[in-house]
Amino acid sequence: MENKIILIDKPSGWTSFDVVAKIRGIRRAAFKAQGVQPTKRQLKVGHAGTLDPFATGLLVILTGDSTKRADEFLKLDKVYEATITLGKTSTTGDPEGELTDVNTTQPTREEIERTLEQFRGEITQRPPIFSAIKINGQRAYKLARAGKEVEIPERKVAIRSLEIIDYSYPEFKIRTHVASGTYIRSLAVDIGEVLGTGAYCSELRRTSISNWRIEDAVEINKLL
């Protein structure tokens, strides 16, 4: 596992750091089993693009000298499958936040399709305050959890494709190919605002990062 790129299928409930820490422990044990005291460089483990704790899917883990390549992965396009729940909003844009009922309006599939047209191509998006974006040197989510006011400026992102793959009110499932820096939680919230129903991202799965595919990833328990 030294200087390797490892594709992990992250389970829900794990943070990206949880996966990094677990693999670092596996590496340490593997070296010691060979009677080798590992160096800090040999135990170096990082990830190339975080996934929210509630999300599942492809997490690229870098070990040893391969950690120097992290920036290459951060700039790559990604594909996600997401379930968007209508009729409620969430303080975090996902199921971990405080949910608030908005209304019980049931849009048709055609109305959702027309709404999605507004979100294809280059759009302006405001990242969620519960994110790892730094504000004056501090992570936005840490400021938000401390009850401090967080203002993140809007920015342009690119959505290459966006399609509905299933709809049964109050949930519809999408598949979307996006450029780096796009937040699917923000996309869900914005779609809900346009529909007038409110919405949040209740499930999220990353299926690819450029040419890296979830089919080639290993579940963390199998790696153990």
CATH number where 52 lies: 3.30.2350.10
- Do 18 and 98 lie in a common domain? no
- Do 124 and 59 lie in a common domain? no
d(CA 139, CA 132): 5
pLDDT of amino acid 209: 95
The candidate with the shortest Cα–Cα distance to 175, out of 81, 34, 76, 64, is: 81
Beta strands, E only, 152-198: 155-168, 171-178
pLDDT of amino acid 165: 97
- Do 55 and 144 lie in a common domain? no
d(CA 93, CA 126): 12
- Do 54 and 99 lie in a common domain? no
- Do 52 and 107 lie in a common domain? no
d(CA 183, CA 64): 29
Q: Domain total for the chain?
A: 2
- Domain extent, residue 66, equals 5-76+210-223
pLDDT of amino acid 13: 94
* Tens-binned pLDDT, residue by residue, of the chain (224 aa): 566 889 999 999 999 999 999 999 988 888 889 898 888 888 899 898 889 999 999 999 998 888 888 888 888 999 999 999 999 999 999 999 999 999 999 999 999 999 999 999 999 998 876 656 666 666 666 655 666 666 777 899 999 999 999 999 999 999 999 999 999 999 999 999 999 999 999 999 999 999 999 999 999 888 76
Instruction: Look up the pTM and report it.
Output: 0.89
pLDDT tens digits, one per residue of 113-164: 999 999 999 999 988 766 566 666 666 666 556 666 667 778 999 999 999 9
Residue 140, classed as helix, strand or coil, is: helix
- Radius of gyration over every alpha carbon of the chain, rounded to an integer in angstroms: 19
pLDDT of amino acid 39: 83
pLDDT of amino acid 4: 84
Residue 94: active-site member: no
- Do 146 and 52 lie in a common domain? no
d(CA 99, CA 135): 25
d(CA 90, CA 11): 22
Structure tokens at 47: 């990830």
Q: Which one from 9, 18, 52, 101 is the annotated catalytic residue?
A: 52
- Do 45 and 116 lie in a common domain? no
- Do 113 and 180 lie in a common domain? yes
